[in-house]
A and B are shown apart, each in its own frame.
Chain A
Amino acid sequence: MAISFELNGQRRTVDVDPKTPLLWVLRDTLNLTGTKYGCGIAACGACTVHIEGEPARACVYPIASVAGKKVTTIEGLSTDLSHPIQKAWIAEQVPQCGYCQSGQIMAAVSLLKKNPSPSAADVDEAMSSNICRCGTQQRMRRAVLKAAAEMGAKA
């Protein structure tokens, strides 16, 4: 079944089983591999993308439900590492293995859209359902607050 949606600003049409999770459409059909497979049950957040601006777990989101919607993945965040979250991630030297970080960054971007000046506790709450096995939590916390400060200063 042909399903069309907007991916990082471009219209895409795929012909797959409508039950196929968005994650596998991105990764295997469209070869857009920045969004990661970690658990397949929406438990780790490595596959976090934005659908209509809201964070979503692509590993359990059937492609049929994406039809006609706007999807943003990590690749759609910026072309030049210029997003304040990316800059803060680099400044704070956040990633280690890096595998969970696409999902972490998408979760952080989403948080700052809703709450441009979060407290540390707000950051903890928003980011606590994304798993990181390398233990970058403390650096992510610092980086989100740093990005928020930078975005606030510009506004």
Chain B
Amino acid sequence: MSTATTNTLSRRTALKKTLQAAGAALVVGLELPRVKAANEKPVVNPLTSWIKIDQQGKITLSYSKSEMGQGISTSLPMILAEELGADWKDVQVEHAPVDRAFGPQGTGGSGSITTLYTPLRQAGAAARTMLIAAAAQRWNVNPSQCSVRESAVWHGNDRLGFGALVEAASQMPVPDLASVTLKDPAEFQLIGKSLPRTDIPAKTNGSAVFGLDVRVPNMVFAVVARCPVFGGKVKTFDSADAKAMKGVLDIFEIDPAPEVHSLGGVAVVAETTYIAMQARNKLKIEWDEGPAAAESSETLRKEFRRVVDSPMKVILNDGDAQAALNDAPDNKKVACDYELPFQAHATMEPMNCTVHLTNGRAEVWAAHQAPDMVQMIVSKVSGIEPKNIQVHTTFMGGGFGRRYQGDFPTEATQIAKRINRPVQLVWSREDDMMHDFYRPASYHRMNGAVDAKGNITAWHHKYTSTPISEWFSPNAAPESSELGLCSQLPYLTNSYKLEYTPAKSHVPRAWWRSVEASVVGFVIESYVDELAHAAGMDPYEFRMRVLGQDRLVKDALDKQERPVDTARFKGVLQLCAEKGNWGKPMAAGQGRGIACHYAFHSYVANLAEVTVKNGTVKVDRIVSAVDIGVPVNPDGIRAQVESAIVYGLTAALKSEITIENGRAVESNFNKFPTLSMKETPLIEVHIVPSTKAPTGIGEPGLPPTAPALANAIFAATGKRIRKLPIRREDLA
């Protein structure tokens, strides 16, 4: 088992046990270091718990990451239960409160399993060791002769249930986490088995509580009118008609909060959501639209082209790409441009947040990917100390990166400050779609060549986009958020030149499922397919060839980044090609395409089968192969890959955000179509068996989806797709 995560996460680990006030219970907590907490002292010995066992033997396992459909409320507790020796049927799960003891509670970057696998195993093993010690003492035997299974400690045929041991166990010395004995993976009872998700029953009868479902006595509802133009502000407003409506309680202006990109606007508070929305329609607001009003998708496209036609910042320059291009015959060169639009997250549950401020305390209910950040935001806006702010993390109706933002908790707290009742801020669908933080739009000019043997001799990528870094880390290099595998290309090329210069835009942008990998995955995997064609080689064989010998590829810019393993790349490609009948003949009008990518330390290859007829493409099947190390909950993994593929197909075939007069044109699902059931192909997911440390799978299935599809369309029609989403005219 790799110890990479141990090294990063257990440096400042502390373990604490306590007797719970309500009765004897074993409470094992871990303190994990916080990300970027250099200026803060670590909290010493907080009484936070991952594992609670009561005297009846009921086992409660906490999960410290937000459940947004990815199944983390099952897979994290599975890891604890595995090492603990708990019988899964004795386990119940609960969302951890906001507490630094749990480490960073932000859920993103497909990082929950990657970062918590080893710490949770250690926590479970520590609790198991203490339970065994208690039983051994009771039996007066050597602990090494005892074992755990089925929520009990065993010595031969003697059995003591965890409930009977918990009081004595909690008095036992806490083992050193770094050296506590972990289970031999060959003995795993839970990890690697498909367990039904803990959250699913409540999601079939309406009882699961999402952010919008929070109901608190005496609560009121609020909406905010925001300038439709990005960055615009309120100039003046007249609320007389709106205020006259029955059920309207208050209308007032709230300020922008630029540090979290919260827009400010006019808040309307009413007895019900519907009244608040109706009253908002009656507001007469004059906006100061600001400089964004002149921006449109057309002006941005001109800006993209201006940038790539101008001298750009050279990021990487290995070998002499220009000389190699000069030397190459025309039919071995590929010159093309790729273009990707803004995308909205369009979570099914629009943004919302419920806040109640009373006498120096706050209670917050948030469907949020980073409840610890919500606590800080509420503190900053309200002036209440974080320790007096209780954040309840609800289920969330989709996250995909959108729920990592601070704008909606900021607005909700601003409103709650003025209203002496619990207030639920509701974003309408239009608010949500027109004021998203979109996946950046980008433009790519590619020039490259192959030789007669099928080697890549030149790869020159000129890349411009509306970078995320400008929005969130303006002091960082603009390209730092955009490059992904462009600085860690697994393919062998004799020369490689990468240039990047940002394009000017006022459109908000941030992390959208798989982030920059959704962009560079499409570009790299479409382009390598084009090079294969120029080389006259089968696209699968070509990839296997230019992946070269098994080796580790370092990131050319970030030495801290884990290396990419070309053997694992080839492993997923091979499995995908085999399961997807690569090379088997297809009927006219049909095609098969393949693509592979690496994101968040996980390797995924997707194969698409399509039928193109009369200018329409039907995706018949997607076969996916993933290598994410030890598969914790295989059916959950398959579900996440299916999910990422459908999300990726929507972005490839259906949806985009276009800009007119500085605002999003698409404001609701009637203009932002998504893949329907009848358009959804059969999806097969195959998991590479592995004993490597597990990595995430919420996002990595997405990047190879659009290029596999585009490559399949090329195989079917000979037409290259270089602009997303795919349009009818591109297929005709």
Chain A positions within 8 Å of B, measured between CB atoms, are 16-17, 20-21, 24, 27-29, 31-41, 43-44, 46, 73-75, 77-78, 81, 86, 89-90, 93-102, 105, 121, 123-125, 127-141
The 10 listed contacts between A and B (C-beta, < 8 Å) are A17-B246, A39-B670, A44-B348, A74-B205, A90-B200, A99-B397, A100-B397, A125-B678, A130-B677, A137-B646
The answer, among B205, B246, B274, B645, for a CB contact under 8 Å with A34, is B205
A17 to B647 Cα, complex, angstroms: 39
Chain B residues near A34 (CB-CB < 8 A)? 205-207
B417 contacts A by Cβ under 8 Å: no
Looking at the assembled complex, report how far the CB atom of B51 sits from the nearest CB atom of chain A, in whole angstroms.
Answer: 26
Within 8 A of A (CB), among B175-209: 196-197, 199-209
Chain B residues near A98 (CB-CB < 8 A)? 69, 199-200, 202-203, 208, 210, 395, 397
| Nearest 7 CB-CB pairings of A with B | A34-B206, A135-B646, A99-B397, A98-B203, A97-B69, A96-B69, A74-B206
Given that A78-B205, A138-B680 are known contacts, is A41 also in contact with B670, CB under 8 Å in the complex? yes
Chain A residues near B398 (CB-CB < 8 A)? 97, 99, 133-134
The secondary structure that dominates the A interface is: loop
User: Beyond A39-B669, A73-B206, A137-B646: 7 further Cβ-contacts under 8 Å?
Assistant: A33-B213, A37-B212, A38-B348, A94-B204, A131-B676, A133-B398, A135-B680
The answer, among B70, B221, B675, for a CB contact under 8 Å with A96, is B70
Question: Are A27 and B273 touching (Cβ within 8 A)?
Answer: yes
A17 to B271 Cα, complex, angstroms: 12
Chain A residues near B348 (CB-CB < 8 A)? 36, 38, 44, 46, 97, 99-100, 131-134
Question: Are B205 and A39 touching (Cβ within 8 A)?
Answer: no
B617 contacts A by Cβ under 8 Å: no
B215 contacts A by Cβ under 8 Å: yes
The secondary structure that dominates the B interface is: loop
Within 8 A of A (CB), among B363-402: 395-400
Question: Are A131 and B669 touching (Cβ within 8 A)?
Answer: yes
Chain B residues near A21 (CB-CB < 8 A)? 274
- The chain B residue with its CB closest to the CB of A78 is B205
Chain B residues near A38 (CB-CB < 8 A)? 348-350, 429, 669
Q: Which of B228-236, B608-616, B635-643 contacts A (4 or more CB under 8 A)?
A: B635-643
A75 to B202 Cα, complex, angstroms: 11
Question: Are B206 and A99 touching (Cβ within 8 A)?
Answer: no
The answer, among A90, A96, A133, for a CB contact under 8 Å with B346, is A133
Given that A21-B274, A93-B196, A93-B635 are known contacts, is A131 also in contact with B674, CB under 8 Å in the complex? yes
The answer, among A29, A95, A125, for a CB contact under 8 Å with B69, is A95
Question: Are B680 and A137 touching (Cβ within 8 A)?
Answer: yes
Chain A residues near B678 (CB-CB < 8 A)? 121, 124-125, 128
Chain B residues near A127 (CB-CB < 8 A)? 677
Chain A residues near B70 (CB-CB < 8 A)? 96
B644 contacts A by Cβ under 8 Å: yes
Question: Are A43 and B668 touching (Cβ within 8 A)?
Answer: yes
Chain B residues near A96 (CB-CB < 8 A)? 69-71, 639, 643
B473 contacts A by Cβ under 8 Å: no
B347 contacts A by Cβ under 8 Å: yes
Within 8 A of A (CB), among B668-701: 668-670, 674-680, 682-683
Chain B positions within 8 Å of A, measured between CB atoms, are 68-71, 196-197, 199-210, 212-213, 215, 221, 246, 271-275, 277, 346-350, 395-400, 426, 428-429, 635, 639, 642-647, 650, 668-670, 674-680, 682-683
Chain B residues near A137 (CB-CB < 8 A)? 646, 675-677, 680
Chain A residues near B204 (CB-CB < 8 A)? 81, 86, 89-90, 94-95, 101, 105
- The chain A residue with its CB closest to the CB of B395 is A98
Chain B residues near A24 (CB-CB < 8 A)? 272-274
Chain B residues near A93 (CB-CB < 8 A)? 196-197, 200, 635, 639
- The chain B residue with its CB closest to the CB of A75 is B206
A44 to B398 Cα, complex, angstroms: 14
Given that A124-B677, A134-B69 are known contacts, is A95 also in contact with B212, CB under 8 Å in the complex? no
Chain A residues near B643 (CB-CB < 8 A)? 96, 134-136
Looking at the assembled complex, report how far the CB atom of B635 sits from the nearest CB atom of chain A, in whole angstroms.
Answer: 6
Chain A residues near B429 (CB-CB < 8 A)? 38-41, 44
- The chain A residue with its CB closest to the CB of B430 is A40
Looking at the assembled complex, report how far the CB atom of A56 sits from the nearest CB atom of chain B, in whole angstroms.
Answer: 16
- The listed residue with most B CB atoms (<10 A of its CB), out of A78, A81, A89, A98, is A98
Looking at the assembled complex, report how far the CB atom of B379 sits from the nearest CB atom of chain A, in whole angstroms.
Answer: 28
Looking at the assembled complex, report how far the CB atom of B244 sits from the nearest CB atom of chain A, in whole angstroms.
Answer: 14
- The chain A residue with its CB closest to the CB of B429 is A39
Question: Are B647 and A135 touching (Cβ within 8 A)?
Answer: yes
Chain A residues near B646 (CB-CB < 8 A)? 132, 134-135, 137
Chain B residues near A140 (CB-CB < 8 A)? 677
Chain A residues near B639 (CB-CB < 8 A)? 93, 96, 136, 139
Given that A44-B348, A133-B398 are known contacts, is A95 also in contact with B200, CB under 8 Å in the complex? yes
Chain B residues near A132 (CB-CB < 8 A)? 348, 646
A139 to B643 Cα, complex, angstroms: 11
- The chain A residue with its CB closest to the CB of B68 is A97
A131 to B277 Cα, complex, angstroms: 23
Question: Are B272 and A36 touching (Cβ within 8 A)?
Answer: no
A51 to B694 Cα, complex, angstroms: 48
- The chain A residue with its CB closest to the CB of B397 is A99
A97 to B213 Cα, complex, angstroms: 14
- The chain A residue with its CB closest to the CB of B671 is A43
The answer, among B650, B669, B680, for a CB contact under 8 Å with A44, is B669
Question: Are A43 and B670 touching (Cβ within 8 A)?
Answer: yes
- The chain B residue with its CB closest to the CB of A143 is B204
Question: Are A28 and B221 touching (Cβ within 8 A)?
Answer: yes
Given that A44-B669, A135-B646 are known contacts, is A29 also in contact with B272, CB under 8 Å in the complex? yes
The answer, among B208, B674, B677, for a CB contact under 8 Å with A133, is B674
Chain B residues near A17 (CB-CB < 8 A)? 246, 274-275
- The listed residue with most B CB atoms (<10 A of its CB), out of A81, A86, A134, is A134
Looking at the assembled complex, report how far the CB atom of A16 sits from the nearest CB atom of chain B, in whole angstroms.
Answer: 8
The answer, among B69, B200, B206, B274, for a CB contact under 8 Å with A89, is B200
Question: Are A139 and B642 touching (Cβ within 8 A)?
Answer: yes
A126 to B213 Cα, complex, angstroms: 27
A148 to B676 Cα, complex, angstroms: 21
Question: Are A35 and B668 touching (Cβ within 8 A)?
Answer: no
Question: Are A36 and B349 touching (Cβ within 8 A)?
Answer: yes
Chain A residues near B200 (CB-CB < 8 A)? 89-90, 93-95, 98
The answer, among B277, B395, B669, B683, for a CB contact under 8 Å with A97, is B395
A43 to B674 Cα, complex, angstroms: 11
- The chain A residue with its CB closest to the CB of B211 is A99
Given that A43-B669, A102-B206 are known contacts, is A141 also in contact with B346, CB under 8 Å in the complex? no
Question: Are B677 and A141 touching (Cβ within 8 A)?
Answer: yes
Chain B residues near A31 (CB-CB < 8 A)? 215
- The chain B residue with its CB closest to the CB of A43 is B669
A102 to B349 Cα, complex, angstroms: 13
A48 to B492 Cα, complex, angstroms: 53
- The chain A residue with its CB closest to the CB of B207 is A34
A35 to B335 Cα, complex, angstroms: 52
A24 to B223 Cα, complex, angstroms: 14
A94 to B668 Cα, complex, angstroms: 25
Chain A residues near B275 (CB-CB < 8 A)? 17
